[in-house]
Amino acid sequence: MNADELKALQSPLKQQYKEKPETALITLKAQGRIGEGITCKVETGRAMAEAGLHPATGGDGLSLCSGDMLLEALVACAGVTLRAVATATGVDLQDAVIRAEGDLDFRGTLSVAKEAPVGFKAIRLHFDLKSQADTEQLSSLMKLTERYCVVYQTLARSPDIHVEYVATS
């Protein structure tokens, strides 16, 4: 896809969202159901993904780790955003490898140490870019990728999360 094709795809949407801002608010959804042992089967839209305990918390390593899935979502979103921004701005991007690493202290999740946080202490996002673009273009590409990557911005800004439950017998 080139910049003109991307613009042709996005222009009507941008115009619609300017004229009718309420149409830009979309609710994305995910659903899962507890499975065998200590697992949760998540509907991905393409297939069923079975998440389970990480080996550091007693898992057997056969199920997906939800922490890995979070990092994978970050990599996927950052990669798509990078490619879209490069396309829209005309930055020649021949190849890119995106990696995410996150540090977890499993003492927190296993309630071993109260001072240990539950969740990632730090996440690092790496981009290995193959491009003939100059430093200024690549710097702008990275700034725009960070700015428009939904998963990155969600992690960086911590949205309000509301939990509710319904009990049935």
Q: Where are the domains of the chain?
A: 3-157
CA angle (104, 76, 50) in 5-degree steps: 65
Tokens of 145: 């990728």
Q: What is the C-alpha to C-alpha distance for residues 68 and 53, in angstroms, rounded to an integer? A: 11
Rounded to two decimals, what is the model's pTM? 0.89
* 77, 141 Cβ separation under 8 angstroms: no
Could you report the per-residue pLDDT of 109-124, keeping only the tens digit for each?
999 999 999 999 999 9
Tens digits of residue pLDDT in 152-169: 999 999 999 999 999 998
Domain range 3-157, CATH class: alpha beta
Give residue-wise pLDDT tens across range 29-38: 888 888 888 8
Closest alpha carbon to 75 in 53, 58, 60, 97: 97
Per the rule left: phi > 0, alpha: psi between -120 and 50, beta: everything else, 83 is alpha
Q: Each residue of 44-85: pLDDT tens digit?
A: 878 888 999 999 999 998 999 999 999 999 999 999 999 999
Strands 31-34 and 95-104: unpaired
